[in-house]
Amino acid sequence: MPDLTLLHTAEVHVETFRALAPEADLDQQVRADWLERAQGGIDAGLRAEIAAAVAAADGPVLCTCTTLGPAAEDAGAIRIDWPMMQEASRTGGPVLMAYCLESTAEPSEALLRRAFGARDPELTCLELGQHWPLFEAGEGAGFAAAIAEDVAEALAAMDFGCVVLAQASMAGAAELLREQTRVPVLASPEIAVRALLAEHKAGA
């Protein structure tokens, strides 16, 4: 049985998670078509495919796509951004949440507010869709640098308790930002893998 099954929508995530958990047994499945189909909303057919993939897996399943997160969670998977949102709630607001895909905004905000409970996260959303073509073109370094530059500009303009990089694809900007600011910068892959592998080890 694998330690963790991961459902991705981009091939680039495979190496990212292998590097985050080099000794773990990961079953990494890539379905780029799911994200394409989800841009206009998650229909019953797509929801059924996601549920079937989750049901077929042995052990815990982590969905690394923020857009598909709610449907994957309904099927029993863990959303990659849930441990990050919980950490954001412990850090406290105001929260700056950066994202690229419009389809990410609503589920990410809803999950963040769920983590904060009755408290107000004092949320500011930073839409960075203009940089998404860099990611799609495989220009990871340029994508991370562009995200980091715009987030740093927002941090200079206002005081925040933490930064949430809403999409797993944005994680490369975290290290760049941590060199420039003392504000906690939260990236979902590292936080989710750390939390889930710890949970798996405790239950083994």
- pLDDT tens profile 53-63: 999 998 889 99
Residue-level pLDDT at 204: 53
Q: Give the C-alpha distances (Å, rounded to integers) separating 74 from 3, 37, 39, 55, 63.
A: 21, 18, 18, 11, 11
Token representation of residue 162: 């933490």
Residue-level pLDDT at 60: 87
Answer yes or no: is pLDDT of 8 > 60: yes
At 56-111, the pLDDT tens digits run 998 889 998 888 989 999 999 999 899 999 999 999 999 999 999 998 899 899 99
Residue-level pLDDT at 168: 87
> What's phi and psi for 47, nearest 5 deg?
-60, -40
- CB atoms under 10 Å from CB of 88, counted, come to 26
Place of tokens 């406290």: 92
Where does the pLDDT of residue 201 fall: very low under 50, low under 70, confident under 90, or very high at 90 and above? Answer: low
Which 3 state secondary structure label does DSSP give 27?
Answer: strand
Whole-angstrom distance, CA of residue 204 vs CA of residue 202:
6
Distance in angstroms between the alpha carbons of the first and the last residue of the chain: 11
At 117-166, the pLDDT tens digits run 999 999 999 999 999 999 999 999 999 999 999 999 999 999 999 999 99
Token representation of residue 84: 């990050």
Whole-angstrom distance, CA of residue 40 vs CA of residue 85:
25
Whole-angstrom distance, CA of residue 32 vs CA of residue 34:
5
Rounded (5°) CA angle 176-164-183: 60
Residue-level pLDDT at 145: 98
Chain Cα centroid distance, residue 112: 12
